[in-house]
């Protein structure tokens, strides 16, 4: 059984990923069912620490992934891209290393309560606090691109790169439009779409991806070729259809 010391060793090995934006995958079906990759993919891993029998991985935006290893769980750190057989629970892939969790029976995402005050209203709240979200989105400089603002966890908590792309597509709003240029009705439509799609996902609906990771393929609504391009300071990839999500300072390819 992993004891405190082995947890501390795991935490020490995982330090190579601290401070990096990580790609997150959940190859094991039981882990995939928790929808962790959708929430965490592309976020910066801020700290890793062993607390009691838990390993706490703290991500930007106040999300904390708690891993309890029980009898069988084991964290490894491998060079990025190392071939492996079998399906680990979780892969956190940085620029040069990847942290891999095998057999992690307890894995849950919690909120860092210390950071709660800094977080926007949670998009998964039912019903979502759309008015409060709108207020926060209107409190920042309005030349900011809507696609960038949607990922700012201080404005709206919980929208990751996947649901940003899908909800903007649903509402026919280009990620490149400045907030100033997006009306309240349109912003609410984007937030409602994000809420609906994400609640569906939490409840196990297997929705069809409309634009996310579909660059170069035809838009399912209008047939225009879907594009992708890095957006915001972190250059996280935005996906959009230039045919039915028009306007804004669309990047030249």
Which of 64, 198, 58 has its CA nearest to residue 125? 198
Cα-only R_g, the chain: 19
Least Cβ distance, residue 238 to Zn ion (angstroms): 15
CB nearer to Zn ion: pick between 94 and 248: 248
Among 78, 243, 246, 250, binds Zn ion (CB under 5 A): 243
244 belongs to the binding site for Zn ion (CB under 5 A): yes
How far apart CA 60 and CA 232 sit, in angstroms, is 15
Least Cβ distance, residue 65 to Zn ion (angstroms): 35
Q: Are strands 54-59 and 63-68 parallel, antiparallel or unpaired?
A: antiparallel
Instruction: State the DSSP H helix or E strand holding residue 228, giving kind and residue range, or none if neither.
Output: strand 227-231
Q: Are strands 236-240 and 106-111 parallel, antiparallel or unpaired?
A: unpaired
Least Cβ distance, residue 169 to Zn ion (angstroms): 8
Among 2, 156, 241, 248, binds Zn ion (CB under 5 A): 241
Over the window 188 to 227, marking each residue x when it contacts Zn ion by CB under 5 A and - when it does not, the resulting string is: -------------------------------x-xx-x---
**Contacting range for Zn ion; rule: CB under 5 A; set: 61-69, 77-85, 112-120, 241-249:** 241-249
In this structure, the number of other CB atoms found within 10 A of the CB of residue 145 comes to 20
Binding residues vs Zn ion (CB under 5 A): 219, 221-222, 224, 241, 243-244
């Amino acid at each position: 059984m992993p004891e405190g010391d082995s947890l501390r060793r795991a935490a020490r090995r995982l330090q190579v990923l601290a401070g990096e934006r990580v790609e997150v995958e959940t190859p094991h079906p039981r882990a995939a069912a928790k929808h962790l990759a959708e929430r965490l993919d592309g976020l910066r891993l801020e700290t890793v620490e062993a607390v009691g029998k838990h390993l706490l991985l703290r991500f930007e935006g106040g999300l904390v992934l708690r891993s309890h290893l029980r009898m069988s769980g084991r964290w490894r750190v491998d060079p990025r891209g190392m071939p492996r057989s079998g399906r680990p629970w979780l892969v956190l892939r940085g620029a040069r290393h990847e942290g891999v969790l095998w057999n992690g029976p307890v894995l849950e995402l919690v909120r860092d309560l210390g950071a709660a005050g800094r977080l926007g209203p949670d998009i998964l709240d039912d019903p979502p606090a759309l008015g409060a979200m709108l207020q926060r989105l209107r409190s920042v400089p309005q030349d900011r691109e809507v696609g960038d603002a949607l990922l700012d966890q201080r404005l709206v908590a919980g929208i990751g790169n996947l649901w940003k792309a899908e909800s903007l597509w649903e509402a026919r709003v280009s990620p490149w439009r400045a907030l100033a240029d997006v009306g309240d009705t349109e912003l609410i439509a984007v937030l409602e779409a994000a809420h609906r799609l994400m609640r569906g996902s939490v409840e196990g609906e297997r929705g069809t991806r409309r634009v996310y990771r579909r660059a170069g393929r035809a838009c399912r609504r209008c047939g225009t070729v879907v594009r992708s391009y890095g957006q915001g300071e972190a250059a996280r990839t935005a996906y959009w259809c230039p045919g039915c999500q028009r306007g804004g300072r669309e990047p030249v390819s």
